[in-house]
Amino acid sequence: EAGVTQFPSHSVIEKGQTVTLRCDPISGHDNLYWYRRVMGKEIKFLLHFVKESKQDESGMPNNRFLAERTGGTYSTLKVQPAELEDSGVYFCASSAGSILAPLHFGNGTRLTVT
Amino acid sequence: GENVEQHPSTLSVQEGDSAVIKCTYSDSASNYFPWYKQELGKGPQLIIDIRSNVGEKKDQRIAVTLNKTAKHFSLHITETQPEDSAVYFCAARGYGGSQGNLIFGKGTKLSVKP
C-alpha cells in the first residue's frame, strides 16, 4: 500500500508570504495528524483530524496556521503570513480507526522562511 | 501536561556493540510508548512500541523496557549494524489525550561505526 505522501518536500519562502502544505494519508485512514519539528527540538503535535472534523487542534501555534481536510481525504496546512520562526519540518501522519493503531508518518515538508 | 526527556542526544558505538537510549516521562497516566527511527530525508518510522500493561517487548535485535514506577522506558539495540545509524525518538501518549497526541523526546542521533 502507498504510504503517507507530502508535498512539497521542500519550500523556501520569504517572510510575509503564504505557503500551503499538502498531505495525502494512507487510503482508508480516518485519523490524520500534523506535527512539526523546529531545528534541534522535539517533534511537536499540531492537530488531529478524524475524517473531516478537527478532533484536537491544541497544538496549533497561532491563527496564522489553518488546516483543512475537506471530504475527509487529503489535508492542507496553510501558513499565512509566514514568519521566520515557522521554519522547520512539517510532518503528516495517519492511522486507522482503532485507538491501538500505530501512526504512519510521511517524509515531511522542510519549510524555510527567509 | 506530559513531558518526555531523552538521553543521550548523541551516541556512537562500534558495529556489533549494543546501544541503549533512555527516556523519562512525567505523566503517570501515560499508557503508550512508541519508538521511532528517522533516517536522513525520511519521516519517523515506528520500530517498536510498548503499552503500560507490559514490562518488556522484543523484536529481533530491538527491545524496549518500561518501568512504570520510575516512569522511564528504554530502547535496546543489540548487535548494532551500520544501517542502524539514524535519529531515534521516544514518545509517550497520555491518558485522555487525543489518540495520536504523542509527546516526543528530542531525539538521539545514533552512529554505528564499521
Dump the DSSP string for A1-62. Answer: ----EEE-SEEEE-TT--EEEEEEPPTT--EEEEEEE-TTS-EEEEEEEETTEEEE-TT--S
User: What count of CB pairs under 8 Å joins A to B?
Assistant: 62
114 residues of chain B, pLDDT tens digit each = 788 999 999 999 999 999 999 999 998 888 899 999 999 989 999 999 998 888 999 999 999 999 999 999 999 999 999 999 999 999 998 655 555 688 999 999 999 999
Residue A43: all three cell numbers together: 517533534
Q: Given an 8 Å threshold on Cβ–Cβ distance, is B99 in contact with A95?
A: yes
Q: Which residue out of A5, A31, A43 would a mutagenesis test of the B interface target, given it has the greatest number of B Cβ atoms within 10 Å?
A: A43
Give the chain B residue nearest A37 (alpha carbons). Answer: B106
Q: Which chain A residues are within 8 Å of B88, Cβ to Cβ?
A: none
Residues of A in contact with B89 (CB under 8 A): 42-43
What CA–CA distance (Å, rounded) separates B63 from B47?
10
Nearest to A31 among B34, B44, B100 (CB): B100
Q: Do residue A43 and residue B89 have CB atoms under 8 angstroms apart?
A: yes
Q: What is the pLDDT of residue A99?
A: 67
- List pLDDT tens digits, range A5-24: 999 999 999 999 999 999 99
| Chain A interface mutation, best of B99, B102, B103, highest count of A Cβ atoms under 10 Å | B99
Q: Do A93 and A75 touch, CB atoms closer than 8 A?
A: no
Please report the pLDDT score of residue B97 as a whole number. Answer: 54
The predicted-structure confidence for A39-80, as pLDDT tens digits, reads as follows 878 899 999 999 999 998 989 999 999 999 988 899 999 999
A91 near A3, Cβ under 8 Å?
Answer: no
What pLDDT does residue B52 have?
A: 82
Q: b/e per residue, B2-23, with b = 16+ CB within 10 A?
A: bebebeeeebebeeeeebbbbb
Nearest to A111 by CA among A58, A41, A38: A38
Give residue A78's Cα distance to chain centre. 9
> In the prediction, which pLDDT does A72 show?
85
Tell me which residues of chain B have a C-beta less than 8 Å from any C-beta of chain A: 4, 34, 36, 41-46, 49, 89, 91, 97-107
